[in-house]
Amino acid sequence: MYKSRRRLLSAALAVGLVVTAAGCSSSGGKKSTDTSANAAAAGKADTPKITIAMITHAAQGDTFWDIIRKGANAASSKDNVDLKYSSDPDSTKQASLIQSAIDSKVDGIALTLSDPAAITPMVKKANAAGIPVVVFNQGFQAWQESGALSYFGSNEEEAGEQAGKRAAEAGAKHILCVPQAQGSLALETRCNGVQKGFTAAGGKYDKLYVNQLDMPSVQSTITAKLTQDKTIDYVITLGAPIALTAIQSIKAAGSSAKLGTFDSNPQIIDPVKNGQVQFVIDQQPYLQGYLAVDSLWLYKTNGNVIGGGLTVPTGPYFVDKSNVDAFAKFASGGTR
């Protein structure tokens, strides 16, 4: 029942996006010849300019978040939105950024609910100030309680469970899940899913925390673990930059472990093609950024709420050797 409802919701969303794009075009209905992701910004709304704050838990220099921002910028250009982006991996500082947006009386806020205990009170503060809030990327299990209008993202536990099952089906016996930050609900949920999917088949599960802000340390930490325990035959990283570093760790440790990862970036394509990475779990970050901004514009200009109180899924979508060429066409443009 859930999967059927999700497919219906996704189909309805797709139709709605087509209608929205056609309705707000300033080109008088003229068809665009641009079939790239940039075509999303080809038409421009003639509605009054509004200001939307996008506030995330992203660390600086993360290529995954570059893709989210491209989607958000495309929607902002189309919708005549002044987008104010800020981020901080420290949830206390993220809460302060949200408070600043509230104080600035922005027209809407799109945020990541990476730490529900710290961020949910800020959502409620924004609502009390009459500012609509949507959640994306993190907060799958907590967004409805926060009072946000909508959520755009992937079911992290389901994605993790599928990853664990894939590793087991490939013959793995001992899996290592590698969260790149402690305290992140989404990362913990991913690993919980990996554990559930893998141990159901009788495999051994282990977890190793690394610090995403110190990539040399990431490499040495994973290398040490693989050197110490030669029984680990499958590694699951939770971000593309960590996966690219783990490739070097596997080599340095003389390990034969296979590697899969969550989240994509353009640099992960070749490792998938040459077999260094078995799969990438894509949650369509461009779409998350785009929908977060576009949904607030729709709400402010026409009272629309996307999702009807249900999560709007943007993933998981598995990329492997069978479909990586089609995926690469868009990844090369930095939108997948």
Spatial distance between the Cα atoms of 236 and 282, rounded to a whole number of angstroms:
14
Domains and CATH numbers, the chain: 2-17+49-155+284-316 (3.40.50.2300), 156-282 (3.40.50.2300)
**Mean pLDDT (whole number) for 102-126:** 96
Q: What is the pLDDT of residue 146?
A: 95
Query: Residue 65 has which token pair?
Result: 């978040």
Q: Range with the lowest mean pLDDT among 9-23, 173-187, 272-286?
A: 9-23
**Identity of the amino acid at 40:** A
Q: What is the pLDDT of residue 336?
A: 87
Q: What is the pLDDT of residue 43?
A: 67
- Residue 257, pLDDT > 60, answer yes
With cut-offs at 50, 70 and 90, classify the pLDDT of residue 31. very low
Question: How many Cβ atoms are within 10 Å of 17's Cβ, its own excluded?
Answer: 16
Q: What is the pLDDT of residue 40?
A: 44
3-state secondary structure of 154: strand
Strand ranges, E, within the chain: 50-56, 81-87, 108-111, 133-136, 151-154, 174-178, 204-207, 234-237, 258-262, 279-282, 312-315, 317-319
Match 């610090």 to its residue by tokens.
Answer: 211
- Residue 38, pLDDT > 80, answer no
With cut-offs at 50, 70 and 90, classify the pLDDT of residue 141. confident
Helices 215-228 and 240-252, axial angle in degrees (round to 10)? 50
Q: Range with the lowest mean pLDDT among 9-13, 146-150, 188-192, 212-216?
A: 9-13
Indicate the average pLDDT of the chain. Answer: 88
